[in-house]
Amino acid sequence: MEQDRSFGHHHAKEYEVNNGVKGLPEEVKRRRYGMCLTRISVTKVMCLTCIYVTKVMCLTRISVTKVMCLTRISVTKLNHLVVRSLVENDVNAIGLPAAGFWVTDTGKISRHGVTGIMELLDNGFVPVLHGDCVLDISKGCHILSGDVIIKTLCKEHLVNRVVFLSDVTGVYDKPPSETDAKHISKICVGENGKIMADISTTSSPYDVTGGMLLKICTAMDIVTGSGGKTKVYVTKVGSGSVNPICLGLDTGQLDHTTFTEIIHQT
């Protein structure tokens, strides 16, 4: 990938992005790629601008507004790196922030951006979302987790599969750092939303969105809300189970100690 030279204009012109992504297959493929490169470039300059403006405008005091800006700089920087890596590996990825599209009210979803996600998918792009700091009607701002975003998406549309990637191989009956922790290969969720397992969790001191407990609760809500039509898994980043699960392959031949499946029990 070439080095950014004009933050969007160069790629947009080279790949004729303004001509749209309709037409002959090869032209569509080329312009989609160009659109992804353009987005990478303009989001990079947006991040740099936010850093500068935040420093200049907020030097005299620490405010909630400044903290929100700093939080967004951090998450959009990571999203930029992920999207760039995907595009370099021939995935038509588009970073899609929640801020400006999603709004909460006392932490509950008031307005979502699911329509934008579906429009990108329908046009051959892979939207890459992330937890974000969004506007909240009652308290000004709120940290919207990626878990809540995926649960909302599953509520609005039928999703075949949700995969939560963690730093451990699934869910344990207690924090996996404890020597007697036991791996749970399946968590059955009943119609009443209760699970047939005794689980104790901890979260990182820096995680303000609920940690593993929220992921488990989100997974439970997804499987019960879909009546079991959406399959939900928890596995470890880089494990041998990630690719087969994400591709929807048969998990029967996988080592069941490398992932946890959350299933709906009728």
Q: What is the pLDDT of residues 164-194, one digit of tens each?
A: 998 889 888 888 888 888 898 988 888 776 7
Q: What is the pLDDT of residues 155-166, one digit of tens each?
A: 999 999 999 998
Q: What is the pLDDT of residue 244?
A: 94
More confident residue, 4 or 163: 163
The pTM score is: 0.73
Q: What is the pLDDT of residues 192-241, one digit of tens each?
A: 767 766 565 555 443 434 467 778 889 989 999 999 999 999 999 999 99
Strand partners, 99: 102
Q: How far is CA 127 from CA 98, 120, 144, 208, 239, in A?
A: 11, 7, 17, 24, 24
Q: What is the pLDDT of residues 45-79, one digit of tens each?
A: 455 545 444 454 444 445 666 666 777 777 778 88
The conformation of residue 3, written as its DSSP 8-state character, comes to P
Q: Report which of 234, 171, 233 is spatially closest to residue 200, judged by C-alpha positions.
A: 171
Rounded mean pLDDT of the chain? 78
Q: Report which of 198, 220, 221, 218 is spatially closest to residue 210, judged by C-alpha positions.
A: 218
Of the chain, the percentage scoring pLDDT greater than 70 comes to 69
